[in-house]
Amino acid sequence: MGRTVVELFYDVISPYSWLGFEVLCRYQHIWNIDLRFRPGFLGGIMQQTGNKPPAMLPKRAEYLLKDIKRMAKYYQVPVNISGDDFQRIFHTSSLAAMRYITAIDMTQPQYLEPLSREFWIRFWSQHEDISQPENILTVARQAGLSSELSQKALEMISSPKVKDRLRETTDDAMKYGAFGMPAVVAHYNGEPHLFFGSDRLELLGSFIGEKWLGPAPS
């Protein structure tokens, strides 16, 4: 039997995307899947689908704070969140970061996984900015990119090719029915199947005939 293609649409502004990303990274060599990272732009999806950030509702924001902490502990991902982080999200655009990640995906895809992870670490563990060029370059160096590659990718983020690629990926997610991120799409039995959120990975495994071994399988 061939490997099941699983696409992960994500944005580094989303802590739930980080949780789903890390778990799928752990399972990509355990399950019979071909995991494909699809960096998109959450802001574009929210705008085009009419969705609203869940933390805009005070009671839901109160719950999300507890929920993310519990899930971070369960999944063993170093998300460090406080009530102030919701305001940080509202006042931070991930567009430049996601264009940068897209540029790397187009030119040096072997760095896509560590680069994405370093953006999450910087924003969600270290509470540092990810929107300014100098901070983006710092993240790139932390991910192992040379100064030359880092600078070249930064210059690419304003190019039509990168902008179009990010837009196309975001549109692809919405064509599958995504209204937020993370959006996981399993291509199974000739059809795409959408699983929304980082708490549906056990269900994803069951659906494609794979066994869930816990959040951090050894």
Query: Tell me, what's the pLDDT at 16?
Result: 97
Domain contains 35: yes
Q: How many domains does the chain have?
A: 1
Domain contains 214: no
Domain that holds residue 204: 4-208
Q: Give CA separation, 196 vs 7, 17, 75, 202, in Å.
A: 12, 10, 17, 12
How are beta strands 33-39 and 4-10 bridged, if at all? parallel
* Chain centre distance of CA 142: 18
* Closest C-alpha among 8, 6, 25 to residue 178: 8
Q: Report the CATH number at residue 148.
A: 3.40.30.10
- DSSP code at position 2: P
What is the H or E stretch that residue 202 is in? helix 201-207
* Chain centre distance of CA 180: 11
Domain contains 52: yes
Domain contains 60: yes
Domain contains 218: no
For residue 114, what are the contacts with CB-CB under 8 A and spacing of at least 6? 143, 144
What is the H or E stretch that residue 155 is in? helix 147-156
Domain contains 154: yes
Query: Tell me, what's the pLDDT at 108?
Result: 96
Would you name the residues annotated as active-site residues? 14
Can you tell me the distance from the alpha carbon of 197 to that of 95, in angstroms, rounded to the nearest whole number?
21
* Closest C-alpha among 211, 205, 136, 176 to residue 38: 176
Domain contains 217: no
- Confirm if 85 and 18 have CB atoms less than 8 A apart: no
Tens-digit pLDDT string for the chain (218 aa):
689 999 999 999 999 999 999 999 999 999 999 999 999 999 999 999 999 888 888 899 999 999 999 999 999 999 999 888 888 888 899 999 999 999 999 999 999 999 999 999 999 999 999 999 999 999 999 999 999 999 999 999 999 999 999 999 999 999 999 999 999 999 999 999 999 999 999 999 999 999 999 999 97
Task: Decide: helix, strand or coil at residue 33.
Answer: strand
pTM: 0.96
* Chain centre distance of CA 83: 21
Can you tell me the distance from the alpha carbon of 138 to that of 118, in angstroms, rounded to the nearest whole number?
9
Domain contains 216: no
For residue 4, what are the contacts with CB-CB under 8 A and spacing of at least 6? 31, 32, 33, 34, 186, 187, 188, 208
Residue type present at position 107: T
